[in-house]
Structure 1
Amino acid sequence: MVSIYTIFENSITQLLSYAQGKEQKGLSIKDINDCSLTAKFNKYMKHVLEFDFQIPEHSIKDISTLSKVRNCIAHANGNLPAMSKEKIDELKTLERSGVGIELTSMHIDVSYDFLNKCMAAVEKIVRELMDYLEARYGFN
């Protein structure tokens, strides 16, 4: 989960850094603040790079789900008692929605299917942005 999220964050950051150079913009993605990483990326693409491309709402939902599970694993080692009640409640809501996680009294279990779906969601977003950049700048 941590690696999949890192692939998302690093890939989009690198692609936007490339676009920053092509567009000769002084502001980088690091200069933008927002409540979530996807909102930050979309704000940068819209307001700084002036792209017609945005990460779609359904993909934002997928990344949000990935982020919640990733945070449990990265910050609490998947150990539920180490998390706040609010975060556990968010995970319980995800579990009830059938995304592919299961909560025990102590830990979070992530299904293989959920891992595949997360990786596919990340690949789709990265591919769509790459396609947009290739159409805008060509194959350099």
Structure 2
Amino acid sequence: MRSSEFEVPEHLKHRMRKAFLAQLEPNTVDVFELELFDWYLKETEAVLTNMLASEQEEVRQQMAQDVENVNDSGIVAAEYYTKRIRYSHVIYLTSLLETCLERACSVLRHAIGEENVPFDLGELSGDQWTKKRKFLERYGHLDLPKGVWSEIQVLTSVRNCLVHDNGNTSGLSTGDRNAIKKRPGISVDGYEIRIEEAFVRHSYDSVSSFVRAIEDELKEVLRRA
């Protein structure tokens, strides 16, 4: 019996592919993920503010009582806790962005077909985020916002400094230092990066905008497919 007798008819292949694409969703992050992080950010900042205020009040009371050796170790601990929380926010946002880009590449591969992707991600230049962005733009013709990507690049460079050097800025390039100076809520304090709530909020807004831009563009790709 010839194998051709088992070939799926072209019109049926077309209908099957159409049904498969209809099942694809351009959601690149978990449902409510961005909204929940927004809530989490507000909650943690409220805790940090109350913690520091409490320790500062303790110091004021000691000074009012003319304590000879004022114990301000609580403030030191509160500031350390604050630094670690905000560092973790930055690292999480870049991880969320990577998840978004990874899923977007997967959706795009299914939408346009593996046979239409002659090159792999590894053959593109750049870091793990840039490679995926280039992949989406090259093979999906996604029109992603360049201005927002500039903010993403600052975020990822800060993340790399935190992850690889624990916030030590000695390895930062002049370009990265100049970029950091132009962003709200972040500065170089001696040899360490200092992060305020404003930078985390700014980064969150940038990531949110970029995720939504990717999902909107993917919807168009799926519609065309």
Both structures adopt the same fold (TM-score exceeding 0.5) = yes
Q: Which residue of 2 aligns with 1:6?
A: 95
Paired residue type of 1:126: V
Which structure is larger by alpha-carbon Rg, 1 or 2?
A: 2
Secondary structure in 1 matching 2:190: coil
- TM-score w.r.t. the length of structure 2 is 0.51
Q: Are residues 98 and 130 of structure 1, via their aligned partners in 2, closer, same or farther at CA, if it must alter by over 3 Å?
A: closer
Contact 1:95–1:102 (8 Å) recurs in 2: yes
Paired residue type of 1:12: L
Matches within 5 A, 1:1-140: 1-26=90-115, 27=117, 30-37=121-128, 39-49=130-140, 51=141, 53-80=142-169, 83-84=170-171, 87=172, 89-137=174-222
Separation of aligned partners in 2, 1:42 and 1:108: 27
Q: Which residue of 1 aligns with 2:80?
A: none
Separation of aligned partners in 2, 1:95 and 1:134: 34
Cα drift, residue 30 of structure 1: 3.0
Separation of aligned partners in 1, 2:153 and 2:101: 15
- TM-score w.r.t. the length of structure 1 is 0.78
Separation of aligned partners in 2, 1:104 and 1:70: 16
Contact 1:94–1:101 (8 Å) recurs in 2: no
Contact 1:13–1:29 (8 Å) recurs in 2: no
Aligned residue pairs total 132
Paired residue type of 2:93: I
Higher mean Cα deviation, 117-126 or 54-63? 54-63
Higher mean Cα deviation, 35-44 or 99-108? 35-44
For structure 1, the residue ranges without an aligned partner over 5 or more in a row are none
Residues 89-128 of structure 1: CA deviation (Å, up to 9, x unaligned): 3443234324321222232111111111111111111111
Aligned residues with identical type, % of pairs: 18
Separation of aligned partners in 2, 1:96 and 1:31: 32
Residues 3-34 of structure 1: CA deviation (Å, up to 9, x unaligned): 10111111111111111012112547634421
Secondary structure in 1 matching 2:159: helix
RMSD over aligned Cα atoms = 2.3
For structure 2, the residue ranges without an aligned partner over 5 or more in a row are 1-89
Q: Are residues 16 and 34 of structure 1, via their aligned partners in 2, closer, same or farther at CA, if it must alter by over 3 Å?
A: same
